[in-house]
């Protein structure tokens, strides 16, 4: 991320932490979602993943964050998702016999 984006990230992260300390969880969730999107735009997938995980700590059923975590996880671990696909294909072949 550029220096400008770093300062934007830091400012928004500070707001998110402040919202958390004030008990404004919904606002903090919105902030962390925005932070995740900002990181994704800059191809910082590890940091984006961390921001979406923070959302899930506050609301484990947040569909936006669940989706983003899954997509980013697969991008960061392509071998894992390929292994899962191969396992499913193998199970289908076994059932057909």
8 A C-beta contact, residue 36 and residue 16:
no
Q: What confidence score (pLDDT) does residue 95 get?
A: 64
**Distance (Å, rounded) from C-alpha 31 to C-alpha 26?**
9
**Through-space distance between the first and last CA atoms of the chain, rounded to whole angstroms:** 53
Show the domain range for 33: 3-96
Q: What confidence score (pLDDT) does residue 1 get?
A: 52
Q: What confidence score (pLDDT) does residue 23 get?
A: 97
Work out the number of other CB atoms within 10 angstroms of the CB of residue 23. Answer: 8
**Distance (Å, rounded) from C-alpha 84 to C-alpha 78?**
10
Specify the CATH number for the domain of residue 53.
1.25.40
Mean pLDDT per block of 10 residues along the chain (97 residues) reads 76 97 98 97 96 98 97 90 64 64
Angle at Cα 34 formed by Cα 59 and Cα 25, nearest 5°?
35
Backbone phi and psi for residue 20, each to the nearest 5 degrees, phi listed first? -60, -45
Q: What confidence score (pLDDT) does residue 13 get?
A: 97
Number of domains in the chain: 1
**Distance (Å, rounded) from C-alpha 21 to C-alpha 31?**
13
Q: What confidence score (pLDDT) does residue 86 get?
A: 63
Q: What confidence score (pLDDT) does residue 4 get?
A: 63
């Amino acid at each position: 991320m550029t220096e400008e984006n770093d300062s934007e990230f830091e400012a928004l992260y500070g707001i998110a932490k402040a919202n958390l300390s004030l008990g404004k969880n919904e606002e903090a969730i919105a902030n962390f979602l925005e932070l995740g999107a900002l990181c994704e735009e800059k191809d910082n997938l590890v940091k984006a993943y961390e921001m979406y995980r923070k959302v899930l700590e506050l609301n484990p059923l947040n569909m936006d964050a669940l989706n983003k975590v899954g997509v980013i996880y697969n991008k960061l671990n392509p071998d894992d998702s390929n292994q899962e696909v191969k396992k499913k294909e193998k199970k289908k072949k076994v059932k057909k016999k």
